[in-house]
A and B are shown apart, each in its own frame.
Chain A
């Protein structure tokens, strides 16, 4: 069977769904954050697949790659800030369990 665009979109969608279920299921803040990153990376696969299947002068559509470059940069910045927030939270509450972080002010 030949590979089609749908193959890549489907893998990307399944990976996104796995990340989503992880965000809903897990209680550890760090693992929830990892699942968020997984969802972001799954969306990247969609971008690359569309750029490869939409040829411009016989080459992949490089605009998609540029967008992906920006997404990776933003994800790196987001991880740095998010982990700093988690560390600050841990310093205050001594826990990373989201069920124990249930007051608006501390």
Chain B
């Protein structure tokens, strides 16, 4: 368990670092896929099977394909050679290190964080999977938010079509 956690956490973090350090956007996109796969594995380790699969399908699948498509569509090559200016490197690295240090201090004093993974009670029979449970919640307790999300997707679709027109009026 612990061993797998470290492996997949390393996947996620190395992928994340790859996104930042690769100069070629295509390499960035591929290391992002690696990062998302590691994250999905961590979700599955936390018994969130539906969410893990969604992470792979939507993030690593649909969203990253969209990114790659746009990268191919507008060719970005000329900025590969330029080096990062020293001060922006210092600023970005400093802020990231400060953030992690702050987080370490906070988590050290966060008593509930010491809890180990609690055991689940095993359920048998149909209707006990997490997909079923989440689906039931979505269409009973959360029926109104899901309508809002439906409208949001519609608005996004229309917005993309309008934005992609040749002439914006």
Bound together: yes
Show the binding face of A for B, using Cβ within 8 Å: 1-11, 13-22, 24-28, 30-31, 33-35, 37-38, 41-42, 44-45, 48-49, 51-53, 55, 57-60, 62-63, 65-66, 68-70, 72-81, 83-88, 90, 96-97
Interface string of B103-121 (1 = CB under 8 A from A): 1100100101111111011
17 further contact pairs, Cβ within 8 A, besides A5-B112, A76-B63: A4-B117, A5-B115, A14-B16, A17-B95, A17-B96, A20-B95, A22-B19, A24-B92, A30-B70, A51-B46, A62-B134, A66-B137, A74-B152, A77-B156, A79-B63, A88-B164, A96-B74
State whether A80 touches B20 (Cβ < 8 A).
Answer: no
State whether B42 touches A38 (Cβ < 8 A).
Answer: no
Chain B residues near A86 (CB-CB < 8 A): 70, 74
Give Cα distance in the complex from A13 to B79, angstroms: 30
State whether A9 touches B113 (Cβ < 8 A).
Answer: yes
Whether B91 sits at the interface, judged by CB under 8 Å, is: yes
Chain B interface main SS type: helix
Q: How far is the CB of B84 from chain A (nearest CB, A)?
A: 6
A48-B51 contact in complex given A3-B117, A4-B116, A53-B115, C-beta closer than 8 Å: yes
Interface string of B64-107 (1 = CB under 8 A from A): 00110011011010010010100011011101110110011001
Q: How far is the CB of A33 from chain B (nearest CB, A)?
A: 8
Identify the interface centre among A44, A55, A81, A88: most chain B CB within 10 Å of its CB: A44
Chain A residues near B114 (CB-CB < 8 A): 4-6
Show the binding face of B for A, using Cβ within 8 Å: 1-2, 5, 9, 12-13, 16-17, 19-20, 25, 28-29, 32, 35-36, 39, 42-43, 46-48, 50-51, 54-55, 58-59, 62-63, 66-67, 70-71, 73-74, 76, 79, 82, 84, 88-89, 91-93, 95-97, 99-100, 103-104, 107, 110, 112-118, 120-121, 123, 130, 133-134, 137-138, 141-142, 145, 149, 152-153, 155-157, 159-160, 163-164, 168
